[in-house]
């Protein structure tokens, strides 16, 4: 059993609820207070059980060889996925200064920004989800993964691994369109996959760029990647707090729900709010998205003290 010890506590109940909130997510499975996810490093595939606690995250190897390299890879992935190293106490202090949002500091306490550590997965997901609802976007994602991704079978269940850029770059366009991907999305997805497969874009290249504008420019230089897509990817994968996907339908609905804007074209109040949360803009987006999916009150089992 491997373990990640946490400097800053998390709320495992809130995290597990968020991960299992009703969409057909094919990349992991939540059951028995744990998350089951398959990985591939080089040619080696492995399956782990991830059990989050308030002060630590336990990792159990279920399938495949366990090497030190693989353990380090999984620990890094989980830490980025759940933003485990972030101290979000300053964000809560900002929330408490706003009468419309202060409840979030208590209701969502301990929830970190759930990201997408795999840059290609994040970009492909953003492309597939453009201008469609989440339910249909998840259907497209499952179709793509089941056809082009790798998988592990364990105890009668199949655990999928996101397709490589090379697999999508080589995919037949007609096959992709048969999945109900539009012609433009097929083009954008294959172009992005080719950029990854040829080394034009990868996570290390983006991280090495000097600032947000440079990273955004590299992504938007690819056909089909607009500002919203680039900002979503930079927010979810690189944790760039300034990468706000302004214009996002869910974000606008949450702002309307909280009385921050009165219509979706009202920009001044929205920008004023994000100015107050400078340095925590991405967390504000995430918590506003979180507010769109309320759940019944649960017992206060979480206590960071």
* Residue 253 contacts residue 292 (beta carbons within 8 Å): yes
Report the chain's terminal Cα–Cα distance, integer Å.
25
Residue 248 bears catalytic tag: yes
Contact yes or no for 122/116 (Cβ under 8 A): yes
**Contact indicator for 149, 162 with CB cutoff of 8 Å:** yes
For residue 43, give the nearest of 76, 67, 78 by alpha carbon.
67
User: Catalytic one among 2, 98, 202, 248?
Assistant: 248
Give, in order, the Cα–Cα distances in Å from 101 to each of 255, 257, 266. 10, 11, 19
CA distance 19 to 57: 15
Task: Calculate Rg over the CA atoms of the chain.
Answer: 19
Give the C-alpha separation, 178 to 233, whole Å. 26
Q: Where in the sequence numbering do the catalytic residues fall?
A: 248
């Amino acid at each position: 059993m491997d373990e990640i010890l946490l400097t800053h506590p998390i709320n495992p109940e809130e995290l597990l609820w968020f991960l299992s909130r009703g969409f057909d997510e094919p990349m992991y499975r939540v059951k028995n207070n744990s998350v089951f996810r398959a990985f591939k490093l080089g040619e080696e595939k492995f399956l782990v059980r991830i059990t989050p606690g308030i002060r630590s995250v336990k990792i159990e190897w279920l399938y495949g060889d366990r090497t030190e390299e693989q353990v380090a890879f999984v620990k890094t992935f989980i830490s980025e996925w759940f933003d485990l190293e972030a101290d979000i106490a300053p964000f809560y202090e900002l929330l408490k200064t706003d009468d419309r949002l202060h409840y979030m500091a208590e209701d969502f306490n301990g929830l970190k920004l759930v990201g997408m550590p795999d840059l290609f997965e994040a970009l492909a997901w953003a492309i597939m989800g453009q201008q469609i609802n989440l339910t249909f976007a998840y259907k497209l994602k499952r179709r793509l993964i089941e056809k082009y991704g790798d998988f592990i079978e364990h105890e009668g269940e199949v655990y999928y691994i996101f397709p490589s850029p090379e697999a999508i770059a080589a995919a037949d366009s007609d096959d992709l369109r048969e999945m109900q991907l539009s012609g433009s999305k097929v083009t954008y997805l294959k172009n992005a996959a080719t950029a990854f497969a040829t080394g034009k874009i990868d996570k290390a290249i983006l991280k090495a760029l000097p600032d947000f504008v440079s990273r955004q420019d590299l992504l938007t230089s690819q056909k089909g990647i607009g500002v919203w897509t680039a900002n979503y990817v930079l927010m979810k994968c690189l944790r760039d707090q300034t990468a706000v996907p302004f214009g996002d339908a869910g974000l606008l609905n949450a702002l309307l729900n909280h009385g921050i804007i009165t219509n979706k074209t009202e920009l001044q109040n929205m920008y004023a709010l994000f100015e107050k949360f400078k340095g925590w803009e991405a967390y504000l987006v995430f918590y506003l998205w979180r507010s769109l999916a309320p759940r019944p009150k649960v017992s206060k089992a979480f206590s960071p003290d």
